[in-house]
Amino acid sequence: MEFGIDEKTQTILGMIREFMAKEVYPLEPYFLGKSFREMKPKLEEARNKVRQMELWAPQLPKELGGVGIGFMGYAMACEEIGRSPLGAYIFGSQAPDAGNIEILAKYATEEQREKWMRPLIRGQIRSCFSMTEPEFAGSNPTVMATSAVKDKGDYVINGHKWFTSAADGARFAIVMANTNPENPSPYQRASMIIVPTDAPGFKLLRNISVMGHAGDDYGTHGEIMYQNCRVPQSNLLGPEGQGFVIAQERLGPGRIHHCMRYIGIAQRCFEMMCEYAAKREVTEGKTLATKQIIQGWIAECRAEIHASRLMVLHAAWKIDTQGAYAAREEISLIKFYVANTMLKVIDKAIQVHGGLGVSDDTILSFFYRMERGARIYDGADEVHKVVVAKRILRQYQAQVA
């Protein structure tokens, strides 16, 4: 296994790291106190600097307007960019746009590319991904009620979705809907359809409040009703009935990116914890760093971050060399392990900071609120654990059969 990267990619990662420290972290106090709309001019200014440095869209190959550092290179870039909640947006690699671009690049027609993909890559528009339904388990996307029925050259879509992230402000949604409900295979019933958010029948009901934060035009999780929402059949994305397959192609590598972002958050919180412990006096001449319980936390967090990073890089290497299907066990392992590591490190960092940690004078309380969902999004911990355990035990059951 080779996790090394070439000199060019190392240079790019160094540029990203320096830009984050000089340009992105200083924006966070404004972000914590203002709405996205109020901050947008500052964010656009930072985005333009990223474009000038030719660091825009590190997840994409050069022919699509990206940096072209490859899958492993971008996995490592995610750790640097993910250290701030503003990083992905400023570098043009924010979810769900990045994942939507990936499937548009592979499955979109030339007309769809011109109308939706290219403006999305340039950051001129935003998009959302509409799959999860409140009435059904999000961890099983083969079961959904949303339907798309053909009528006079159109699809007529009816259904109820929620946690359609970034729907507020998006120009279009990629919607999962049943187009082939009679197919005997549950994996071949749904299709992906591009739906403009100004289409008649597309109704954004609300931005769901998550941990006390409903968002405003960014970082939102929309609840949507599709009520006789009519779009041309030419808006079908990829083959009909292949929505589940396309979604899995999107989600596997996407979990690598998420987990590297989690590691970036954990590493930053770890550094904040160590810095604060080293300077915070608790008695005359004694700092928190002299306390054995703090030393124990620091050692444990360091080990778990290191283990998480190696696990994710191994999974990324396996996807890169053998494909996402071959790495499905590793993907499930990192999904629940790394999320829990991140949350543990955030919690310990807050504890070391004391009252300061739960205030909004640092980024820690934001991470604590907004990253708890990591153990639920993209498949709950329990689902991934069961999947891994069943796959492991199947080998032993075959031996004793």
Write phi, then psi, for 125 (nearest 5 degrees): -135, 170
Q: Residues 165-184: what's their mean pLDDT? A: 95
Q: What is the largest CA-CA distance in the chain?
A: 80
Q: pLDDT (tens digit, 9 = 90+) per residue, 266-296?
A: 999 999 999 999 999 998 889 999 999 999 9
Q: Does residue 90 sit in the same domain as residue 49? A: yes
Residue whose token pair is 């500052």 = 42
Neighbours of 211 (CB within 10 A): 11
Q: Exposed/middle/buried for 11, CB within 10 Å: 0-12, 13-18, 19+? A: exposed
Other Cβ atoms closer than 10 A to 77: 27
The number of beta carbons lying within 10 Å of the beta carbon of residue 212 is 6
The model's pTM is 0.93
Q: What is the CA angle 334-339-345, rounded to 5?
A: 125
pLDDT digits (tens, 9 = 90+) for 339-351: 999 999 999 999 9
Are 301 and 394 in the same domain?
A: yes
pLDDT tens track for 362-377: 999 999 999 999 999 8
**Per-residue tokens: 146:** 């949303």
CA atoms of 113 and 367, how far apart (whole Å): 35
pLDDT of 352-363, one tens digit each?
999 999 999 999
pLDDT at 142 over 90: no
Same domain, 396 and 276: yes
How high is the pLDDT of residue 217? 65
DSSP secondary structure letter of residue 23: I
H or E, element range at 122: helix 118-122
Do 250 and 395 belong together in one domain? yes
Question: At residue 75, what is the residue type?
Answer: A
Q: Is 263 helix (H, G, I), strand (E, B) or coil?
A: helix
In the listed set 199, 221, 237, which residue is the last one of a domain according to the structure? 237
With 80 as the cut, is the pLDDT of residue 103 above it?
yes
Mark whether 309 and 345 lie in a shared domain: yes
The residue-averaged pLDDT of 306-325 equals 92
- For residues 136 and 229, membership in a common domain is answered with yes
Q: What is the CATH number of the domain that holds 208?
A: 2.40.110.10
250 in the same domain as 396: yes
Q: Could you list the residue range(s) of the whole structural domain that residue 74 is in?
A: 7-108
What mean pLDDT comes out for the span 100-124?
A: 96
| SS3 category, 163 | strand
Total structural domains within the chain: 3
